[in-house]
Chain A
Amino acid sequence: MTGSIARLKRHPAAPWAGAAIVALALLALPFALAAVGTAWVRITNLAILFVFLSLGLNIVVGFAGLLDLGYVAFYAVGAYVYALLASPHFGIHWPFWAILPLGAAVAALFGVLIGAPTLKLRGDYLAIVTLGFGEIVRIFLNNLSQPVNITNGPQGIARIDPFRLGGIDFSKSDNFLGLSFSGPIKYYYLLLAVLLAVIFINVRLQNSRIGRAWEAIREDEIAARAMGIDTTRVKLLAFSMGATFGGVAGGMFSAIQGFVSPESFVLVESIMVVSMVVLGGMGNVWGVILGAVLLSFVPEILRFTVEPAQKQLFGRMIIEPEVIRMLIFGFALVLVMTLRPGGLWPSTVRKRELAERRP
């Protein structure tokens, strides 16, 4: 039995068959989830957005080694660019394919804006400045409602246009091939397509010339300069590319939710994304994806299990699910970092380093 499995694994078509199975599973996933509840499709969509964010932050933190604690600012920028240009707030209704690249570009500009003054900072110091930057952006969004109302302050912007492509409206249900495609399911397929592109770009980046330059500045900046690497340009590129992914994710978030407010872009969100990157495996694209998916789903699963479990055990609710969720979440983080310091799926570089440090 095991022998035949091993033989199957060696078959030249095995990787393709594996990929086909994964692809089919991903295509069937939303219908399976919708059978449980549409909420789960929405949660999955948010999880994919967090994968975008984590992969974007991984460029800055994992590849280039620059600790950014204000990453959510770029998410916010992307979200608000979309919200402002596709809602009744200003009465502007541009199509999404025009706004998304614009949002990405504006986010990239913000990336350079935070990167340029912090070029000489590293580690803790950079973390403090970026943390401040993230808060500044949020506070601006909160207060740019007067004297001229730009962001509508804490009330946020509502009734944001969904994606529309040809005759397809992503907020409404459609019947196709006898299947009912609800709004979240359509968004799921769109997100899946974008996800493929994002993963492809990230894998290519890691093995590219610029990826090697990031690796060099992460290891030793002075030596990198002695190798002829333009460290200034390479760092700004890391910040702006990372921000681009944040901007795209933000724009899609706006369209999917139909509503944005500064409350969605608090510091905890930045910390969440950093946790996803670190827990999954800093510097490894696949590890980071794993981290983002896990940290997006586990809290939701807990939310749906903690309450019934308590009712069954004690007859009533003793601890709020929200409280126990954070408790378990924190405990899991500590556990993973103690047992697997390189993350769940470490990058080869980290793995090597940790293995060799052991006596």
Chain B
Amino acid sequence: MSLLEIRGLEVRYGGIRAVKGIDLEVGAGEMVCLIGANGAGKSSTLRAISGLVPTAPGAVRFDGGDFAGIPAFRRARAGLVMVPEGRGVFARLSVEENLAMGAYVRADAEVQPDRARVFEIFPRLAERSRQTAGTLSGGEQQMLAIGRALMSRPKLLALDEPSMGLAPIAAQKILQVIRDINRSGVTVLLVEQNARSALALAHRAYVMESGEITLSGEARALLADPRVREAYLGEAAG
């Protein structure tokens, strides 16, 4: 059974339909990526999934329950945790305080070991644990945003363009880490513009174009698909 199930999802801003009735599924343990050009509706889809824009009944189901009308913070508590676009770290708080905030809803005693694990994944954060988040580099802030999300022990981690604005090497590294996190058992939904890297790492992928899903399938197969190669990987057709 799918962990996240999307049926006929629509997102409207005023009279404009940004997402025009898409279907999408993410199975437990999977890493799925959603690629597409700017303005294709990827971020709107993610906003709808995480509860920042309203959706119709039945459009978003998570872990067997309908998410219609459920506010964003409850979705996070249910295990659907988003890493917002532009990272959204608490800039004036230290790295440690940011991570503590990630464990906000948890009351169990395993917060400390989890933090140690985050520091293991991102040794850079351990070195800078007392530094203010706003003074970290873009890549480090992205690491922190992901680390903070992990602190809440998500069932599904939804990332909005984690490689955006990063130098190519840093972007590559972040995506690799996301792959490692997925291997450790966290289901991942990755929205990316960096199609080549995302397709190389994910299990399955959806391609979005002006609010609709135009292609979907095994990531590897899509990577070889001539239409994808032409439109998203910058290669001539043929």
Tell me whether A219 and B90 are in contact (CB under 8 A). Answer: yes
B207 CB–A CB distance under 8 Å: no
A216 CB–B CB distance under 8 Å: yes
Count how many chain B residues have C-beta atoms less than 8 Å from C-beta atoms of the other chain.
Answer: 33
Which of the listed residues B104, B132, B149 has the most CB atoms from chain A within 10 Å of its own CB?
B104
CB contact list, A138-153 vs B, under 8 A: none
8 Å CB contact of B92 from A212, A223, A228, A352: A352
Q: In the docked arrangement, what's the CA distance between A116 and B105, Å?
A: 24
8 Å CB contact of A227 from B71, B101, B132: B101
Interface code B100-125, partner A: CB below 8 Å = 1, 0 otherwise? 11101100000000000000000000
Q: In the docked arrangement, what's the CA distance between A224 and B81, Å?
A: 11
Task: Name which residue of chain B comes closest to A227, CB basis.
Answer: B104
Instruction: Please give the distance in Å from A290's CB to the nearest CB on chain B.
Output: 22
B77 surroundings in chain A (CB, below 8 A): 228
B100 surroundings in chain A (CB, below 8 A): 212
Q: In the docked arrangement, what's the CA distance between A213 and B104, Å?
A: 8
Tell me whether A225 and B72 are in contact (CB under 8 A). Answer: yes
Tell me whether B88 and A216 are in contact (CB under 8 A). Answer: no
A225-B72, A227-B76, A356-B135 known; A220 and B149 CB under 8 Å? no
Tell me whether B105 and A227 are in contact (CB under 8 A). Answer: yes
Tell me whether A226 and B104 are in contact (CB under 8 A). Answer: no
A226-B82, A226-B83, A226-B149 known; A215 and B132 CB under 8 Å? no
A350 surroundings in chain B (CB, below 8 A): 92
Count how many chain A residues have C-beta atoms less than 8 Å from C-beta atoms of the other chain.
Answer: 23
Instruction: Please give the distance in Å from B54's CB to the nearest CB on chain A.
Output: 14
Tell me whether B73 and A231 are in contact (CB under 8 A). Answer: yes
B91 CB–A CB distance under 8 Å: yes
A222 CB–B CB distance under 8 Å: yes
Instruction: Please give the distance in Å from A164's CB to the nearest CB on chain B.
Output: 46
Tell me whether A226 and B101 are in contact (CB under 8 A). Answer: no
A230 CB–B CB distance under 8 Å: yes
Instruction: Please give the distance in Å from A117's CB to the nearest CB on chain B.
Output: 18
Tell me whether B73 and A228 are in contact (CB under 8 A). Answer: yes
Tell me whether B132 and A356 are in contact (CB under 8 A). Answer: yes
Tell me whether B84 and A223 are in contact (CB under 8 A). Answer: yes
Tell me whether B132 and A220 are in contact (CB under 8 A). Answer: no
B interface with A by C-beta (< 8 Å):
50-52, 71-74, 76-77, 81-84, 88-94, 97, 100-102, 104-105, 132, 134-135, 145, 148-149, 152
Known: A219-B93, A227-B148, A228-B104. 7 other contacts (CB 8 A): A215-B101, A216-B104, A219-B92, A225-B52, A226-B50, A226-B81, A229-B104
19 contacts between A and B (CB under 8 A): A213-B104, A219-B90, A220-B88, A222-B88, A223-B89, A224-B101, A225-B52, A226-B72, A226-B81, A226-B84, A227-B105, A228-B77, A230-B73, A231-B73, A232-B71, A350-B92, A352-B92, A356-B132, A356-B135
